[in-house]
């Protein structure tokens, strides 16, 4: 079993890479791989509650983040630097997310076998 | 006098943003609506900022969270704005 870390850096609807990343993460988790997600920079905007992508004819994929437990993905992190950049607080975000600082991010990257940035 | 509608579409602010014409207008579309989370970057005392409501709502943002004065508009009003300005520039 390998440990995968996905680092998501983009706002949710700026490209389809975010959608493809979460589908890949869920597929890996289904095959019993250990998957962690880390949201930094504009990526934190994916975690805002009450999104409605149908209004802009885009697939509403961010609701998958609320169901990560079902796929045994329990390690979901967000950068406090990015939160501060947008003036967001934990209660603005989807549930079950751990806020970490930059040195914890460095540790997290060292702990994973494969790191994928989107 | 020619006027310009400046349409921002991403979180990158155009370099000329600080020196807009007095009759120009600013419209936030697509990912540019996230700029409202960093109001100090886009607040201009002389200009009202228009925001497309669909793009705001799609991204889980609420007008009540916006700290600066903006006007929420729909697609019809968007068309009006392109007509009343001489030029439209998309950044």
Taking only the tens of pLDDT, chain A with its 118 residues reads: 889 999 999 999 988 999 999 999 999 999 989 999 999 999 999 999 889 999 999 998 888 888 898 898 999 999 999 999 999 998 888 878 999 998 898 888 889 999 899 9
Query: How would you classify residue A80: left for phi > 0, otherwise alpha for psi between -120 and 50, otherwise beta?
Result: alpha
Tell which of A56, A59, A82 to mutate to test the B interface (max B CBs under 10 Å). Answer: A56
pLDDT of residue A9: 94
The pLDDT assigned to B21 comes to 81
Chain A positions in Cβ-Cβ contact with residue B38 (cut-off 8 Å): 85-87
* Residue of chain B whose Cα is closest to the Cα of A48: B60
Taking contacts as CB-CB distances below 8 angstroms, the residues of chain A near B31 are 11, 13-14, 42
pLDDT at A40: 94
Domain A3-117: CATH superfamily is: DsrEFH-like (3.40.1260.10)
> Which stretches does DSSP call E strand in chain B?
4-8, 25-28, 49-52, 70-73, 87-90
Chain A: residue whose CA lies nearest to B66:
A87
Please state the pTM of the whole predicted model. Answer: 0.83
What pLDDT does B63 receive?
87
Residue A78: which H helix or E strand, with range? strand A75-79
ipTM above 0.85, yes or no: no
Chain B residues within 8 A of A63 when measuring between CB atoms = none
| Domains of chain B as residue ranges with CATH | 4-90 (3.40.1260.10)
Q: Where are the domains of chain A?
A: 3-117
């Amino acid at each position: 079993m390998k440990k995968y870390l996905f680092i998501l850096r983009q706002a949710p609807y700026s490209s389809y890479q975010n959608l493809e990343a979460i589908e890949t993460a869920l597929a890996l988790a289904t095959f019993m791989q250990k998957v962690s997600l880390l949201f930094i920079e504009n990526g934190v905007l994916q975690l805002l509650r009450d999104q409605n992508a149908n209004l802009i004819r885009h697939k509403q994929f961010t609701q998958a983040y609320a169901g990560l437990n079902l796929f045994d993905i329990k390690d979901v992190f967000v950068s406090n630097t990015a939160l501060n950049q947008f003036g967001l607080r934990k209660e603005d975000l989807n549930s079950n997310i751990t806020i970490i600082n930059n040195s914890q991010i460095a540790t997290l990257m060292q702990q994973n076998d494969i790191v994928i940035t989107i | 006098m020619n006027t310009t509608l400046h349409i921002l579409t991403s979180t990158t602010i155009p370099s000329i943003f600080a020196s807009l014409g007095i009759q120009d207008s600013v419209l936030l579309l697509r990912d540019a609506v996230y700029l409202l989370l960093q109001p100090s970057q886009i607040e201009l005392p002389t200009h009202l900022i228009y925001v497309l409501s669909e793009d705001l709502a799609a991204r889980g943002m609420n007008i009540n969270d916006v700290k600066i004065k903006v006007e929420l508009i729909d697609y019809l009003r968007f068309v009006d704005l392109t007509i009343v300005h001489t030029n439209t520039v998309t950044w």
